[in-house]
């Protein structure tokens, strides 16, 4: 049995201009967020990228010990639904396209690929696990 651990996670988002924001993590990294009227990622696109990125990191951690991939791409598709219950994504599908070099090391990495994808889905990827488990989100204002 895995012992429960908890670590704080935090990101700050600040407004740059009308419908333009910047997210900053505690390490100083930034990403631009927009409404879809510019090249900035929308929050929905960031969520999809987070799902793909989280799974990709997990799979890469598992397979790279055997072989460095020749190519490693992850695509995410979903249906954006707006109905009487509100806005949401449905039918989120993550597709891994990973190739490894010929030879024993590549063969071993290929053998781990399917298992790595399954482990990312079933227990490792914090982002997709959070979505699938339906973690509540609280939104509130602060006294400014």
Give the Cα separation of 37 and 44 in Å (integer).
14
- Domain membership flag for residue 27: yes
Check residue 110 and give its pLDDT: 97
Domain extent at residue 19: 9-41
Q: How far is CA 105 from the centre of its chain?
A: 28
Q: Would you say residue 144 has pLDDT above 70?
A: no
In this structure, are residues 74 and 55 in contact, taking their beta carbons and an 8 Å threshold? yes
Tell me how many helices (H) and strands (E) the chain has.
Answer: 3, 5
What per-residue confidence (pLDDT) applies to 19? 96
Residue 128 CA: distances (Å) to CA of 62, 86, 116 = 18, 20, 14
> Could you tell me which of 97, 102, 78 has the C-alpha nearest to residue 88?
78
Domain at 111, CATH number: 3.30.300.20
Cα angle: 107, vertex 51, 23; to 5 degrees: 130
Distances (CA, A) of 22 to 31, 51, 91, 141: 6, 20, 28, 19
Mean pLDDT of all residues belonging to the chain? 95
pLDDT in tens, 56-112: 999 999 999 999 999 999 999 999 999 999 999 999 999 999 999 999 999 999 999
Q: Is residue 138 part of a domain?
A: no
Please check whether residue 36 lies inside any domain of the structure: yes
Give this prediction's pTM: 0.90
């Amino acid at each position: 049995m895995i012992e429960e651990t908890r670590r704080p996670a935090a990101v700050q988002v600040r407004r740059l201009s009308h419908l333009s924001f910047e997210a900053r993590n505690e390490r100083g990294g930034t990403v631009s967020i927009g409404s879809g009227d510019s090249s900035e990622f929308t929050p929905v696109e960031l969520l999809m990228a987070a799902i793909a990125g989280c799974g990709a990191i997990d799979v890469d951690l598992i397979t790279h010990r055997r072989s460095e991939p020749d190519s490693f791409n992850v695509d995410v598709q979903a249906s954006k639904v707006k109905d009487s219950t509100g806005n949401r994504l449905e039918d989120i599908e993550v597709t891994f396209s990973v190739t490894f070099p010929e030879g024993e090391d590549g063969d071993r990495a290929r053998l781990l690929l399917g298992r790595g994808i399954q482990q990312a889905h079933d227990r490792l990827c914090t982002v997709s696990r959070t979505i699938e488990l339906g973690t509540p989100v609280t939104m509130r204002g602060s006294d400014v």
